[in-house]
A = this chain, B = another copy of it.
Amino acid sequence: MANCIVAQSGGPTAAINATLAGVIHGALLSSIDKIYGAVNGIEGVINENLVVLNEKFDSHENLNILLQTPSSYLGSCRYKLPSDSEEIFQKIFKVFENNDIKYFFYIGGNDSMDTVLKLSKYAEKINSDVKVMGVPKTIDNDLPCTDHTPGFGSAAKYIANTVREICCDSSVYDLKSATIIEIMGRHAGWLTAASVLAKDEGTNAPHLIYLPEVPFDTEDFIKKVKEISDREGNVIICVSEGIKNADGEFICEEASSGLVDNFGHKCLSGTAKVLENLVRDRLKIKARGVEVNVSQRCASHIASKTDIEESFKIGKEAVSFALMGHTGEMMVFKRKKKGPYTIRIESESIENAANKEKCVPLEWIEDASLTIDAVNYLKPLIEGETQPIFENGVIKVIRR
Contacts and interface: CB of A to CB of B under 8 A. Distances in A.
A255 to B, nearest CB: 6
Contacts of A298: 165-166, 168-169
B76 A172 contact: yes
Nearest to A259: B261
B166 A294 contact: yes
A161 to B, nearest CB: 5
Nearest to A390: B385
Interface in A245-261: 255-259, 261
A169 to B, nearest CB: 4
How many identical chains are in the complex? 2
Interface string A62-81: 00000001111001111000
A172 B12 contact: yes
B277 A269 contact: no
Interface stretch (A98-106, A315-323, A360-368, A376-384): A376-384
Interface in A342-367: none
Contacts of A261: 255-256, 259, 267, 269, 277
A392 interface: yes
Contact of A173 (B76, B202, B293, B383): B76
A310 interface: no
Most buried by B among A169, A174, A255, A395: A169
Interface string A82-99: 000000000000000000
Most buried by B among A157, A291, A397: A397
Contacts of A297: 169
Interface stretch (A18-26, A113-121, A140-148, A299-307): A299-307
Most buried by B among A76, A164, A290: A164
Given A393-B160, A393-B384, A267 B259 contact: yes
B263 A174 contact: no
Contacts of A78: 173
Contacts of A75: 171-174
14 contacts: A71-B165, A75-B171, A76-B173, A77-B173, A157-B394, A164-B394, A164-B397, A165-B298, A165-B301, A166-B295, A290-B293, A290-B294, A379-B392, A383-B392
6 tightest A-B CB contacts, nearest first? A382-B393, A71-B168, A76-B172, A169-B298, A165-B298, A202-B399
